[in-house]
Structure 1
Amino acid sequence: MVRDSPAPMGLISSDKMVSLSTTFVVLAALCWGLSGGIGGILTAQGWDPVVVSFYRGAIGFFFVLGWLALRPRGSGLASRRLWFWSAIAGVGVAGNFAFYFVSIAEGSVAVAVTLMYCAPVFVYLVSFTLKLERPTLFKWAAIAMVLLGVVLLTGIYEIGAGDVTPIAAGAGLLSGLSYAVFIFGFKYAAPHGSPQAILVIAFAVLTALLFWLGDPDQTVAVLKTPSWPLFVALGVVGAGLSFIFYIVGLKHTAPAVASIVAMVEPVTASLFGVVVLNESLALLQIFGMGLILVTVTALSVYSSAQYKPLTTKPLAE
């Protein structure tokens, strides 16, 4: 369809919109990266990772609730399918947050965020099982490369010699698996309502679930601790603004571009861990991390070029 307005003006407007949308995606990834570092500080202070995750999600809930109040049209809240799939997404994001911070507490920010970044691999494996995606040689090769990267990053090839504990590695991979559950939940909820409605339900489920699982004494103690500004910052940056930025940004950003700029998250989180938390990685671990990040990004770009992808964040997420 040809617009009535002059082509150059339309082109400029379109270019500016794409640039602004990409900026929003970068900001979201940056916020998620910083949230890993903030979570690392809080867990190092002795706070329960589940309690940390609860406050991240609870504060995020009020942000998306406000977004829904401002944009209520087409919410789809009367749809049972919206509620069902959004609840599944909520369970997924709850597991993602909690296992991510457990991995950080037991290991390091860099390892945790990289293992979480393996989520697209889990998405593909589930898609293969449910016959939603057709397996190809490229996809299997990419999955094999990611697994090799995990082996190098965690050091499991040298039993007892690696710096990454089994709990840290397992929790990191479970955070990625939980993230894959969130992706599927969001994907199947999307046709039945607005993104903000999905996020409100998902974050409500997350808040209720993590409140129930968390340490009640610590949950109350947060309200009186000198560290409360960090909890607020974590919720605002790690769940409030970041999810809204990503949703808005994806409207005019190609999935392939979004997959690439999402690399800002693990890079930011890793740099935070090295600079602020004095974490370090061996050379083989750095190589394994790079192998995972480059392969997963290539896999997501390939997927977006072939299909309407499941592997990019639907808030991505």
Structure 2
Amino acid sequence: MVRHPPAPMRLISSDKTASASTAFVVLAALCWGLSGGIGGILMANGWNAFVVSLYRGAIGLLFVLVWLALRPRGSGLANRRLWFWSAIAGLGVAGNFSFYFVSIAEGSVAVAATLMYCAPVFVYLVSFALKLERPTPLKWASIVMVMLGVVLLTGVYDIDGGRVTPIAVGAGLLSGLSYAVFIFGFKYAAPHGSPQAILVIAFAVLVAILIWPSDADQAVAMLSTPSWPLFLILGVLGAGLSFIFYIVGLKHTAPAVASIVAMVEPVTASLFGVVVLNERLAGPQIFGMGLILITVTALSVYSSARRARL
């Protein structure tokens, strides 16, 4: 007869597992936040945003290849749907990385990270268009609040102020839209194979795409430049360990909790920009940033709780 541990022991074990999983999600968000700051340093030193994105993705590809080699079972690599949706995810992550760094190069780490955090709003808009989600007054109100936050953060209302360039704003929002594409691609690929197989295909597509807009001379020069340790750290934190941490952490972390702790990324990136890169934010920008972070997090938590009830 199989003996099960007493209920209190099972609860303690479950709580420990959940806490460890949440810690992995926090670590992933922290790594992503730091990667924005490291990318900012590299571009301040003259490195092309697409070259920085290319090496971030290439190093991430090496990590997930090792992960797939260690866990090859159930990869689903023979499934055509896995390849199709993983390629879509690859387009999304390629756009996310490159537009994010373009936004940093044209503006600041804090603004770029916060604009990218608007991704759930794009997910809702796409879901509305595809009739995957039903629009409600609360959801529309949340979207309007986020748009107001974007206006305050970017200072577009101040024509003469010129706080943030249109390229920085557009690239920041496109990075969020691209991340939404990655989310949809990953979601539809997941039933057909393992996460590591999906990420291998996605990062391979990223590398293939970003080779074309990257500065060829800089891409070759990186291999012998004194800046290579920063590129290595960027790839390890920004794509290698972070994606593995996040996927492993999500297995036992409630979506609502994951939505809240994901705020670590834009907050870390913003603090890095202010403390290390000497970036400055005006009062309305700080208010707009807070409005975006709080609204998006509340919207994600509400959505997760609603799905749990259903």
Give the TM-score, by structure 1 length.
0.95
Distance between the aligned counterparts of 2:3 and 2:244, measured in 1? 30
Deviation at 1:3? 7.5
1:311 match = none
Counterpart residue type for residue 283 of structure 1? G
Task: Provide structure 1 residue ranges, at least 5 long, that are not aligned to the other structure.
Answer: 309-317
Deviation at 1:274? 0.4
The C-alpha deviation readout for 1:159-188, integer Å capped at 9, x for no partner, is 131310001011000000111111110011
Moved more, 15-24 or 5-14: 5-14
Task: Provide structure 2 residue ranges, at least 5 long, that are not aligned to the other structure.
Answer: none
1:51-66 aligned within 5 A: 51-66=51-66
Distance between the aligned counterparts of 1:240 and 1:160, measured in 2? 42
1:205 match = 205
Moved more, 218-227 or 5-14: 5-14
Distance between the aligned counterparts of 1:232 and 1:206, measured in 2? 17
Distance between the aligned counterparts of 2:132 and 2:201, measured in 1? 25
Distance between the aligned counterparts of 1:298 and 1:8, measured in 2? 32
Distance between the aligned counterparts of 2:22 and 2:137, measured in 1? 31
1:78 match = 78
- 1:297 paired with 2:307, answer no
1:98 match = 98
Secondary structure in 1 aligned to 2:161? Answer: coil
Counterpart residue type for residue 82 of structure 2? L
- 1:87 paired with 2:81, answer no
Distance between the aligned counterparts of 1:116 and 1:160, measured in 2? 25
How many matched pairs?
A: 307
Deviation at 1:307? 2.1
2:223 match = 223
The C-alpha deviation readout for 1:136-159, integer Å capped at 9, x for no partner, is 011000000000000000111111
1:186 match = 186
RMSD: 1.1
Change (3 A) 1:161 1:3: farther
Deviation at 1:5? 1.8
Secondary structure in 2 aligned to 1:236? Answer: helix
1:104-183 aligned within 5 A: 104-183=104-183
Change (3 A) 1:257 1:3: farther
Deviation at 1:10? 1.3
Distance between the aligned counterparts of 1:72 and 1:13, measured in 2? 28
Deviation at 1:8? 2.0
Distance between the aligned counterparts of 2:4 and 2:95, measured in 1? 49
Give the TM-score, by structure 2 length.
0.98
Distance between the aligned counterparts of 1:160 and 1:97, measured in 2? 30
Distance between the aligned counterparts of 1:185 and 1:8, measured in 2? 40
1:256 match = 256
1:313 match = none
Counterpart residue type for residue 9 of structure 1? M
Distance between the aligned counterparts of 2:96 and 2:160, measured in 1? 27
Counterpart residue type for residue 118 of structure 1? C
Distance between the aligned counterparts of 1:285 and 1:154, measured in 2? 7
The C-alpha deviation readout for 1:84-105, integer Å capped at 9, x for no partner, is 0000000000000000000000
The C-alpha deviation readout for 1:284-317, integer Å capped at 9, x for no partner, is 0000000000000001001111127xxxxxxxxx
2:243 match = 243
